[in-house]
Structure 1
Amino acid sequence: MENPIKKNSFLKKILALILAFGPGIFAIGYTIGTGSVTSMIVAGSTYGMQLLWVLLLSCIFSGILMFSYGNYALVTGETALFAFKNHLKWGKLIAIMIIVGISFGQWNSLMGILGISANIIFEIFLIYFPNLQGYQYEAVLIIAIVVIIVMYGFLMVGKYAFFEKILVIFVTIMGLSFFISLFMVYPLPIEVAKGLKPSIPKVEGGKMMVAAFVGTTMAAATFLSRPLFVKGKGWNINNLKQQKKDSIIAACLVFVISASVMAVASGALFHQGEPVTKVLDMVNTLEPVAGKFALTLFFFGTLSAGLSSIFPCLLIAPILLADYQSGELDTTSKQFKIITAVACLFALIVPVFGANPIEMQILSQVFNVFVLPLVILGIILLINNKKLMGQYKANIFLNIGLYAAFLFSIIISYNGIVALLDFF
């Protein structure tokens, strides 16, 4: 018979391991939201595994950028925009452009995220209570209002440790849901291998999907907010190794979870020729293939992704402003409460007008790529400044990775401009 004390001890170790995960949990929260999940589902159902290479490159560069921003914060004690303003030529202008660009992109994402999350909760209810069919608009709007009020209530608690624990719960549910779904519905290994060969789908919307992939996976908000979360965790220069490990784990988990979503959509929907364009499409196409349990599990994962993203998206504007002003985030300030309240009202636009949240979400992810080159160039200049970094100045390997990320971001930004011109 199994010793209950040993079993209890094992569960405690697992829980401690999950809770010990550092600021990387916010990186996962920012990166894998319904924006990422929606992009992966649409891409997997429309193009199979063809865009896996974009996801892989984005995750590698994300890990390098998280590491760079985290290291800068631990060595200098400064946050990103505060450092841009004080140490770079044209730094104030660059910082303001980044604040406006990222806040615009994240608040647009927030509309889509809340719309998709509310629709998913409604669809989960609909699976088990079909009589709700005629009340979609009213039900989705009420659900959206309740969700955003609850999230705002969480923000008012105003403690880093509390934010971290809430995100740990959402991200753990999300990761397990998608990973288990992968064992029920999966693509052929040859399709996965082909997906690692760089190519852009030569169809309408292919270029936009590539830009959306990068916009959601290489999210500038993730890197800029990292110094504040590193400081919030209480880390200092003695935690450099821990910070490096945290960056690598976060980037790897982003890739594994995102690739699992794409693989499930590819395995279940691509070969049926059923691309996803609305939230309801996920139900109509996935349920016959995967069954009710797998569908519910997948939806709970997507919902957790949405809820884990609403939280950081509400935080982003006050984080960037606090970063620019002083490098310190005061979650009890009047400024914090007002800005997050305005973001909550902004998030209700899609549910109130009944717009298609999936189309809005993909479009908003494309806008996220345009500030990315500035964010990467800024950290390249800072982390190579010997006066600031001393012996911790970037080595040749880190610089190769950063310059490769910079070149990649410029190519993707150009691709995003072309995609938006084609769209409009």
Structure 2
Amino acid sequence: MELTKNKKPLLKRILALILSFGPGIFAIGYTIGTGSVTSMIKAGSAYGMQLTWVLLLSCLFSGILMFVYGNYTLITGETVLYSFKKYLKAGKFIAILIIVGVSVGQWGSLMGILTISANMLYEIFAINFDSLKAYEYETVLLISIIIVGVFYAIMLVGKYTFFEKILVVFVSFMGLSFIISLFFVHPLPSEVLEGLIPYIPESKDPMVSGKMMVAAFVGTTMAAATFLSRPLFVKGKNWSIKDLGKQRKDAITAAILVFIISGAIMAVASGALYHQGNPVNNVLDMAKPLEPIAGSFAVAIFFFGTLSAGLSSIFPCLLIAPLLIADYQSGTLDTNSKQFRIITGIACLVALIGPAFFGGKPILVQILSQVFNVFILPVVVLGIILLVNNKKLMKGYKTSLGVNIGLFAALFFSCIVSYTGVVGLVTKYL
């Protein structure tokens, strides 16, 4: 009797903990999608764990920026892009530039995410229905339309808390799938430790250089969309200045989980493929090489985790443009407004460009979109540094020396990575 009583509350506590996860769940949704999974797999299979240091720094700075962006809104009551427009010189231009740059980057990723997710579902159906192999393009396109249609319908009837609960389910499955996969295939501990030493490996890939992979890593794990969207998600959670501690805990938890899940993906690819000299360019290519080493069960788990990663990213990518525009207007995200329906409808149509015109798996496009994401980072970091150090705006709340050191380190890091990305692109394509 005693044991039975103890088990039930424990399960309830675990479920309550998962469901209580706040705006950080959107950070994971933005950060870990099929594009991110592909980058991690590609890096792990080609370089082993040599880029662990990039992942660690990106997650550290992303956590600091999520914390600072959330705190600013809780303390001032204002959203950040609106504050850029209102308080910074040339702020209106900067805010619009950020909205356009981030939205275009996220919509570009959305095309690849939808294409790869639809292809993965097609592969599952094709295993059971041989006749579908003659209609691959049509089937992938139909699946894409159904996915987009379902997500758009959910967005029209749902609200923030509803979106959050759906993402909790996808992200939970994704995280568990990749972490379980790590028990089947993993790199040596010494390789992980060596990966913490800053080093940019040479690439043998004719399309993607080592410098581009570093920029892509930062573009996906330290994505501007992650912390730019946080003020609206914090408002959607109805948090107030009394919830500063809760907001800090949520940001830290999100950054740690992004590091663990992303690191697990890279580690599985490293353990399964790096020493065999089998770099991959596609998530779906992971299945066959992994099966002889880990078995069909591990492949199924990894496959399911990757699909969950794709589906968990569709929601945040569809939301990004209306979120940033609402931020600019200093409003709240109204999912019933005409503006929301039109913008998300356009995003759905843009997403269908991938499966309709590319048909295959635009992995290079995914990586390039992540590289381009880093170019807006320095502006986004510098802007928040100026805001949180404005004593008048912060209403007596002083930004600590430690947080400022972290912010300036993030600014320096973002500038270096942006330069690295430019050099990588110029060297490879010009």
The two structures have a TM-score, normalised by structure 2, of 0.95
Q: For the structure 1 residues 190 and 124, does the alpha-carbon distance in structure 2 shift closer, same or farther, using more than 3 Å as the test?
A: farther
Deviations 1:195-235 (A, max 9, x none): 11111112252111111000000010111110110011010
CA–CA distance in 2 between the matches of 1:141 and 1:270?
A: 33
User: Does the Cα contact within 8 Å between 1:124 and 1:299 map onto a contact in 2?
Assistant: no
Residue in structure 2 matched with residue 186 of structure 1 by the alignment: 186
Deviations 1:38-57 (A, max 9, x none): 11011111111110100000
Moved more, 275-284 or 181-190: 275-284
Q: Given residue 124 of structure 2, which amino acid in structure 1 is its aligned partner?
A: I
User: Does the Cα contact within 8 Å between 1:113 and 1:357 map onto a contact in 2?
Assistant: no
Does residue 1:106 correspond to 2:106, yes or no?
A: yes
> What does 1:42-61 correspond to in 2, within 5 Å?
42-61=42-61
Deviations 1:21-69 (A, max 9, x none): 1111111111111121111011111111110100000000001000000
Residue in structure 2 matched with residue 324 of structure 1 by the alignment: 328
The two structures have a TM-score, normalised by structure 1, of 0.97
Runs of 4+ in 1 over 6 A off after TM superposition: none
* Number of aligned positions between the proteins: 424
Within the candidate set 293, 296, 300, 1:292 is matched to 296
CA–CA distance in 1 between the matches of 2:283 and 2:168?
A: 25
Within the candidate set 220, 224, 229, 1:225 is matched to 229
> What does 1:23-422 correspond to in 2, within 5 Å?
23-127=23-127, 132-203=132-203, 204=205, 205-353=209-357, 354-422=359-427
CA–CA distance in 1 between the matches of 2:230 and 2:290?
A: 36
CA–CA distance in 2 between the matches of 1:263 and 1:361?
A: 21
Q: Given residue 400 of structure 1, which amino acid in structure 2 is its aligned partner?
A: I
Deviations 1:96-144 (A, max 9, x none): 1100100110000001111111122223334555664443322222211
CA–CA distance in 1 between the matches of 2:33 and 2:361?
A: 17
Q: For the structure 1 residues 313 and 384, does the alpha-carbon distance in structure 2 shift closer, same or farther, using more than 3 Å as the test?
A: same
Q: Given residue 288 of structure 2, which amino acid in structure 1 is its aligned partner?
A: N
Q: Given residue 318 of structure 2, which amino acid in structure 1 is its aligned partner?
A: L
- Structure 2 alignment gaps of length 5 or more: none
User: Does the Cα contact within 8 Å between 1:124 and 1:296 map onto a contact in 2?
Assistant: no
Residue 5 of structure 1: CA displacement? Answer: 4.3
SS in 2 for 1:389: coil
CA–CA distance in 1 between the matches of 2:277 and 2:148?
A: 35
Deviations 1:345-401 (A, max 9, x none): 111112112143222211111111111111100100000000011332211111100
Q: For the structure 1 residues 201 and 130, does the alpha-carbon distance in structure 2 shift closer, same or farther, using more than 3 Å as the test?
A: farther
Q: Given residue 159 of structure 1, which amino acid in structure 2 is its aligned partner?
A: K
Residue 303 of structure 1: CA displacement? Answer: 0.8
CA–CA distance in 2 between the matches of 1:320 and 1:117?
A: 26
CA–CA distance in 2 between the matches of 1:11 and 1:26?
A: 24
Deviations 1:67-99 (A, max 9, x none): 000100100011110111111111101001100
Q: Compute the RMSD of aligned alpha carbons.
A: 1.5
Identity %: 70
Residue 17 of structure 1: CA displacement? Answer: 0.5
CA–CA distance in 1 between the matches of 2:2 and 2:365?
A: 52
User: Does the Cα contact within 8 Å between 2:30 and 2:225 map onto a contact in 1?
Assistant: yes
CA–CA distance in 1 between the matches of 2:188 and 2:213?
A: 22
Residue 271 of structure 1: CA displacement? Answer: 1.3
Q: Given residue 379 of structure 2, which amino acid in structure 1 is its aligned partner?
A: L
